Structure 1
Amino acid sequence: MFRHRGKGRTLIHNLQLASLLSLVAGIVNVTGIFALQTLTTNVTGHFAYFADEVARSNFSSAAVFLVYIIAFSAGAFSSNFLIEITARSNNRYGVAFPIGIEVFILIFIAFLSPEALQAHGHLIACSLLFAMGLQNALVTSLSNAVVRTTHLTGLFTDLGIEFSKLIFYRHPDQQKALKGSIKLRLTIIAFFFSGCIVGGLVYFFFGLLSLLLAAFILIIGWFHAFFRYNFLRWRRQHIP
């Protein structure tokens, strides 16, 4: 799931990655909406808010949305930078660094007090956007831009295109590729939606501690991939 990159990935690898990280994104998305009343998994809406505030000459408010956009971009930059640096040093577990940073951010914010949330809402939103930038860049890099997990606009666009292609592209190989792509996109949508539902229910009872669930999912996913990879490698070396 985390080991293979680009053309070395299969549909199964991408389905596993998509289901895990879109579930996390859904939880973070709904937590950000409930706790901060702002978007914390993508920046599409922030561009609209930024333009609106500039048009109204509310430059201080516009600056906040600009910082949100920069925070997300900084997370994406940091994620790919860490992956490239570790790849050049032959570190097989380079993706652990952006995942580890994301987990740290989620756990740290989960234990903040209501007073801290009230006093530092913008900073907390920036931190969550940075974490989602980390995640989105990680997924994009690993899957060669096949998988996206933090927003759904492009997914629904691609779904519409691919459903229409099913009508015209009738060759078995074309049908197989299209159906695999559709399955992947529906998986992302389903798990993102599930994350929003589950995260919303947990937030209703436990507040920001809902982010602990997202962090726990990331940790379990990473350790599962780590131990599975090492087990398979051991089996290939010791079992004919």
Structure 2
Amino acid sequence: MIHCFLSDLYKKKFVVLWMLLSFKAGYLNAAGFLATGKFVSHVTGFGTQMGVSLAHEDYYFGAELLIIPLAFIFGSMIPSLILDRNYDEGKIPPYPMVQFLITMLLGVIFFLGTSGWFGDFSTPSDDLHDIILIGLLCFVCGMKNGLTTWATYGKIRTTHLTGLATDIGLHLPKLFRGGHKSRFPEPRRVNTVRLATFVSFSIGSLVAAFIFPNFGYSGFIFPFVLSVGLLAISFINYNEAKKEQGMTHEKAKVA
């Protein structure tokens, strides 16, 4: 994640980043489903599933399902705990710290999977290993979504499509209207970015559907390497932003 201002969120160089993050989210979501039979980048259906399980007195399965939203929520808390602590609008938030945790956990998932700790790929069994895998993936996706949401002032979300699809539909007519007033005025470019992230998520899922059946847990090397690249970019951007901030302060002192 890189430091940017609200006015810059929809510039081309940042749109590529949002698309990349959405692609990775779609990839991990498909990976979780192929490995355990459960989605990991959103929690929409799990409340229903828990209710049905409890109604059928399947308490163990209901307890397992509870781990999914809890892991996602706790993952989403991490960016707030790190970035919102003593937050000062004039300071550069330490995004690399959160990105490092995401990268480290993806590395752990890749290592445990390829070493055989999770068992065979694509054999959902709802045992302890599956629960840990699904919990780790949900935790990572929660951190990813929390980091992107926090960094973009709540404007960009990359790990689920429900709210994104609603926003696309709500604002899509504006692409074909003239100068009519709207209750939610925004540039047309914003909805174009939403469409781009929607497509990127789907492409990530498609790529995962081809990779994991052939390579199993080794397929996690792809999001791990991608995350390492994002971590490097995050560190570079953070250092450059700090230097720029320092130069601004020096100029202010001189003036």
With normalisation by structure 2, the TM-score equals 0.80
Which residue of the partner structure matches residue 47 of structure 1?
47
1:157 pairs with 2:156: no
Amino acid in the other structure paired with 1:122:
I
Give the gaps of 5 or more residues in structure 1: none
Q: Tell me, in whole angstroms, the C-alpha distance in 2 between the residues paired with 1:97 and 1:231.
A: 16
Equivalences for residues 100-139 of structure 1 within 5 A: 100-113=100-113, 115-118=116-119, 120-139=129-148
Q: Tell me, in whole angstroms, the C-alpha distance in 2 between the residues paired with 1:137 and 1:155.
A: 15
Amino acid in the other structure paired with 1:117:
F
Give the gaps of 5 or more residues in structure 2: 120-127, 248-255
Q: Tell me, in whole angstroms, the C-alpha distance in 1 between the residues paired with 2:43 and 2:210.
A: 24
Match among 210, 213, 218 for residue 204 of structure 1: 213
Q: Does the CA contact (< 8 Å) of 1:53 and 1:61 recur in 2?
A: yes
Following TM superposition, the consecutive aligned residue runs of length 4 or more in structure 1 with deviations greater than 6 angstroms are 172-176
Amino acid in the other structure paired with 2:65:
F
Q: 1:94 to 1:9 in 2, by over 3 A?
A: same
Amino acid in the other structure paired with 2:155:
V
1:144 pairs with 2:153: yes
Q: Does the CA contact (< 8 Å) of 1:169 and 1:175 recur in 2?
A: no
Which residue of the partner structure matches residue 31 of structure 2?
31
Which residue of the partner structure matches residue 68 of structure 2?
68
Moved more, 103-112 or 221-230: 221-230
Amino acid in the other structure paired with 1:34:
L
Q: CA RMSD in A?
A: 3.0
Q: Tell me, in whole angstroms, the C-alpha distance in 2 between the residues paired with 1:177 and 1:112.
A: 45
Q: Does the CA contact (< 8 Å) of 2:53 and 2:62 recur in 1?
A: yes
Q: 1:224 to 1:115 in 2, by over 3 A?
A: closer
From the two aligned structures, give the one with the greater helix fraction.
1
Helix, strand or coil at the partner of 1:85: coil
Q: What is the CA deviation profile of residues 131-159 of structure 1, one whole-angstrom value per residue up to 9, with x for unaligned ones?
A: 11001111111111111111111111111
Which residue of the partner structure matches residue 96 of structure 2?
96
Q: Does the CA contact (< 8 Å) of 1:98 and 1:134 recur in 2?
A: yes
Q: What is the CA deviation profile of residues 157-195 of structure 1, one whole-angstrom value per residue up to 9, with x for unaligned ones?
A: 111110124455626999993411111111111211121
Q: What is the CA deviation profile of residues 198-234 of structure 1, one whole-angstrom value per residue up to 9, with x for unaligned ones?
A: 2222212221122221121122123235435656867
Amino acid in the other structure paired with 1:116:
W
Q: What is the CA deviation profile of residues 108-128 of structure 1, one whole-angstrom value per residue up to 9, with x for unaligned ones?
A: 111224752245110110011
Equivalences for residues 15-30 of structure 1 within 5 A: 15-30=15-30
Which residue of the partner structure matches residue 224 of structure 2?
215
Shift of 1:78: 1.6
Q: Tell me, in whole angstroms, the C-alpha distance in 1 between the residues paired with 2:98 and 2:71.
A: 15
Moved more, 193-202 or 26-35: 193-202
Identity, % of aligned positions: 23
Q: Tell me, in whole angstroms, the C-alpha distance in 1 between the residues paired with 2:64 and 2:178.
A: 46
Moved more, 119-128 or 174-183: 174-183
Amino acid in the other structure paired with 2:213:
F
Which residue of the partner structure matches residue 177 of structure 1?
186
